[in-house]
């Protein structure tokens, strides 16, 4: 099969288009013919080697975490889906590889593609949708009437998280540029801060939850907008000890995580706040809940650009530029 491969960890290094063997199925997996693949920051960060301690992949590595496509083969213990089903998923860690013609996906990570969505639209959803769900619903247990600050509202996670938070009944503040203010308001943002001309920490107060996706400086500023008892959840680090335990990291890696997050955890405690790091995980059951919201019209995909398969490197470069509004998708079949 054709696939885009990272031969070694190196910043901005182009992926190589290669002929690779079609992946062999495990008993609980299904082989999906890839029709479209979402592109995420996680993809170029993996290529750059930023997650070597957390995710020690063997190289060469086929990248790609989001997939929408058709089941073409089922493992001996896979019963839930059948050949011909249109499905989508966030591909499992250590089995990633949706920048290819075929990818194996664990049955428990798959869901049927939402009715009414194209393959490209469906491929834009899983990673950002599950990130928002696991942050707002699973970790924060966001409730109606609460106030949430979602950074980078016009990005992939932001466009989804705003819609999910509004569906849950929360009041939403976000940051974006003036050029994207209309988009985030349309998605449901109540308060829009122009990050180019305004400081969110001067304008926002007494929020129940902040979802951080930016750098360490923004992380610290986010503490200032939360009320006592509030929660700061970061999807951009630093990882905390709880995450190290959850993934069964070696002792020295857990120690590194403890040291990296010690400062923000200490500052959060002083303010009576809770800090947590989120590295989202594949989850087909949660994706089914997201499917229901999409089919009910509560959430819609937001896509900036669709690139052809042969332009996968250009798609990665565009995502890395940080200017995408919503998601970037690769159309493969």
pLDDT in tens, 274-317: 999 999 999 999 999 999 999 999 999 999 999 999 999 999 99
CA dist., res. 153 & res. 167, Å (int): 16
Residue 119 within a domain? yes
Residue 201 maps to which CATH number?
3.40.50.720
pLDDT band at 174 (very low <50, low <70, confident <90, very high): very high
Domain shared by 145 and 106, yes or no: no
Of the candidates 100, 93, 80, 94, the one whose C-alpha atom is nearest the C-alpha of residue 130 is 93
Residue 319 within a domain? yes
13 burial level (CB within 10 Å; 0-12, 13-18, 19+): middle
Q: Find the domain containing 52 and state its range.
A: 2-125+301-331
Token couple for 256: 């590194």
Residue 287 within a domain? no
46: Cα within 13 Å, side-chain hemisphere: 26
Domain shared by 267 and 237, yes or no: yes
Tell me which of 116 and 250 has the higher pLDDT: 116
pLDDT band at 244 (very low <50, low <70, confident <90, very high): confident
Domain shared by 144 and 246, yes or no: yes
pLDDT band at 264 (very low <50, low <70, confident <90, very high): very high
- pLDDT tens digits for 71-102? 999 999 999 999 999 999 999 999 999 999 99
Domain shared by 57 and 158, yes or no: no
Residue 282 within a domain? no
Domain shared by 201 and 133, yes or no: yes
Domain shared by 137 and 111, yes or no: no
pLDDT at 237: 87
Residue 209 within a domain? yes
Residue 289 within a domain? no
Domain shared by 136 and 271, yes or no: yes
pLDDT band at 259 (very low <50, low <70, confident <90, very high): very high
Into how many domains does the chain fold?
2
Residue 203 within a domain? yes
- pLDDT tens digits for 27-76? 999 999 999 999 999 999 999 999 888 888 999 999 999 999 999 999 99
Domain shared by 310 and 250, yes or no: no
pLDDT at 242: 87
Domain shared by 14 and 114, yes or no: yes
pLDDT at 37: 99
pLDDT band at 189 (very low <50, low <70, confident <90, very high): very high
Domain shared by 118 and 160, yes or no: no
Share of the chain above pLDDT 70, in %: 100
Residue 59 within a domain? yes
Choose one of 235, 262, 277: the last residue of a domain.
277
Domain shared by 78 and 98, yes or no: yes
pLDDT band at 192 (very low <50, low <70, confident <90, very high): very high
For the entire predicted model, the pTM comes to 0.97
Q: Is the pLDDT of residue 243 over 90?
A: no
Neighbours of 45 (CB within 10 A): 15
pLDDT at 281: 96
Domain shared by 43 and 151, yes or no: no
Residue 20 maps to which CATH number?
3.90.180.10
């Amino acid at each position: 099969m054709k696939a885009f491969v990272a031969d070694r960890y190196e910043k901005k290094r182009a992926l190589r288009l290669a002929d690779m063997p079609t992946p062999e199925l495990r008993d609980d997996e299904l082989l999906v013919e890839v029709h479209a693949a979402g592109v995420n920051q996680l993809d170029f960060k993996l290529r750059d080697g930023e997650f070597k301690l957390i995710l020690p992949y063997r190289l060469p590595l086929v990248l790609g975490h989001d997939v929408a496509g058709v089941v073409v083969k089922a493992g001996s213990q896979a019963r839930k889906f059948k050949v011909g089903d249109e499905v989508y998923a966030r591909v499992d860690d250590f089995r990633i590889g949706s920048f290819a013609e075929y990818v194996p996906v664990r049955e428990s990570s798959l869901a049927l593609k939402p009715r009414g969505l194209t393959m490209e639209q469906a491929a834009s959803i899983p990673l950002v949708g599950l990130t928002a769900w696991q942050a707002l619903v699973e970790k924060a247990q966001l409730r109606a009437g609460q106030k949430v600050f979602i950074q980078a509202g016009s990005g992939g996670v932001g466009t989804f998280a705003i819609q999910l938070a509004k569906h849950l009944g929360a009041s939403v503040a976000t940051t974006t540029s003036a050029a994207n203010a209309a988009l985030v308001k349309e998605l449901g943002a109540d308060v829009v801060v122009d990050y180019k001309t305004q400081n969110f920490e001067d304008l926002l107060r007494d929020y129940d939850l902040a979802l951080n996706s930016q750098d360490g400086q923004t992380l610290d500023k986010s503490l200032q907008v939360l009320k006592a008892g509030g929660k700061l959840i970061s999807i951009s680090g630093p990882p905390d000890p709880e995450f190290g335990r959850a993934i069964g990291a070696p002792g020295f890696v857990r120690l590194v995580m403890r040291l990296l997050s010690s400062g923000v955890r200490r500052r959060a405690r002083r303010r009576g706040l809770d800090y947590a790091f989120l590295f989202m995980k594949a989850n087909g059951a949660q994706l089914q809940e997201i499917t229901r919201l999409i089919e009910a019209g509560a959430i819609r995909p937001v896509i900036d650009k669709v690139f052809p398969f042969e332009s996968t490197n250009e798609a990665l470069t565009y995502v890395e530029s940080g200017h995408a509004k919503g998601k970037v998708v690769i159309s493969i079949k």
